């Protein structure tokens, strides 16, 4: 996940996107999210979504809700976002065989990074659209409890790795203030 930088589009009417940019602006959150992504395969957009639903709406996601949200974006994440991320990372580590092409490779990496950011934004739009049709049916609780519960639920349904992962405290704290 790489949310820093400006999106290619100029309109921003998404509460979820605005929330994510605010939460992800904290370097400690970035580090925590990338560690969860790289070590445990946690989709950062889903993590931020769970925090958003709790922080903004006080809504509680069941395990079935979390699985459905994962299914909504699974194809997009696997076939668009993940390959773009892999290309960007590969280009970051590439040692060009000829120094003169280094700036060209860097330009391609920057362009891929911008496209990856837009792909992340599209994934968030998919989640937000899916959420709006269900939001009224979800149980509500106090905001702080909802954020923590939703993050815990996502970890529980993410490949059974919940016992290995400490709750992302920086994400949870930033969600309360976003």
Q: Flag whether 148 is in a domain.
A: yes
Confidence of residue 96 (pLDDT cuts 50, 70, 90): confident
Q: Flag whether 50 is in a domain.
A: yes
Rg of the chain on CA atoms, in Å? 17
The alpha carbon dihedral of 6, 8, 122, 107 has a sign of negative
* pLDDT score recorded for residue 161: 60
- The CA distance from 50 to 54, in Å, is 6
Q: Flag whether 141 is in a domain.
A: yes
Residue pair 153/50 in contact (Cβ under 8 Å)? The answer is: yes
Count: domains in the chain: 1
The predicted model scores a pTM of 0.89
56-82: average pLDDT: 97
- 56's tokens: 């903004």
Provide the residue range defining the domain that includes 22: 15-177
* pLDDT score recorded for residue 12: 57
Q: Flag whether 4 is in a domain.
A: no
Q: Flag whether 45 is in a domain.
A: yes
- Residue 46 CA: distances (Å) to CA of 11, 105, 106: 22, 31, 29
* pLDDT score recorded for residue 42: 93
Q: Flag whether 9 is in a domain.
A: no
Give residues with Cβ within 8 angstroms of 80, minimum separation 6.
119, 122
Judged against a pLDDT cut of 50, whether residue 98 lies above it is answered with: yes
- The residues pairing with 140 across neighbouring beta strands, listed in sequence order, are 59
Q: Flag whether 2 is in a domain.
A: no
Q: Flag whether 35 is in a domain.
A: yes
Q: Between vectors from CA 115 to CA 86 and to CA 51, what angle results, nearest 5°? A: 80
Give residues with Cβ within 8 angstroms of 8, minimum separation 6.
114, 115, 117, 118
């Amino acid at each position: 996940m790489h949310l820093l930088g400006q999106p290619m589009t100029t309109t921003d009417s998404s509460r979820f996107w605005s929330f994510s940019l605010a939460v992800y602006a904290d370097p400690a959150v970035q580090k925590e999210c990338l560690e969860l992504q790289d070590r445990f395969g946690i989709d950062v957009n889903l993590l931020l979504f769970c925090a958003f639903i709790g922080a903004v709406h006080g809504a509680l996601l069941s395990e079935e809700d979390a699985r459905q949200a994962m299914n909504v974006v699974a194809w997009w994440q696997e076939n668009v976002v993940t390959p773009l991320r892999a290309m960007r990372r590969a280009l970051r580590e590439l040692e060009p065989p000829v120094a003169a092409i280094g700036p060209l490779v860097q330009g391609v990496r920057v362009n891929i990074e911008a496209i990856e950011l837009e792909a992340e934004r599209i994934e968030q739009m998919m989640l937000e659209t899916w959420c709006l049709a269900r939001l009224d049916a979800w149980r509500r609780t106090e905001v702080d409890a909802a954020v923590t519960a939703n993050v815990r639920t996502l970890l529980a349904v993410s490949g059974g790795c919940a016992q290995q992962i400490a709750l992302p405290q920086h994400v949870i704290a930033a969600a309360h203030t976003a």
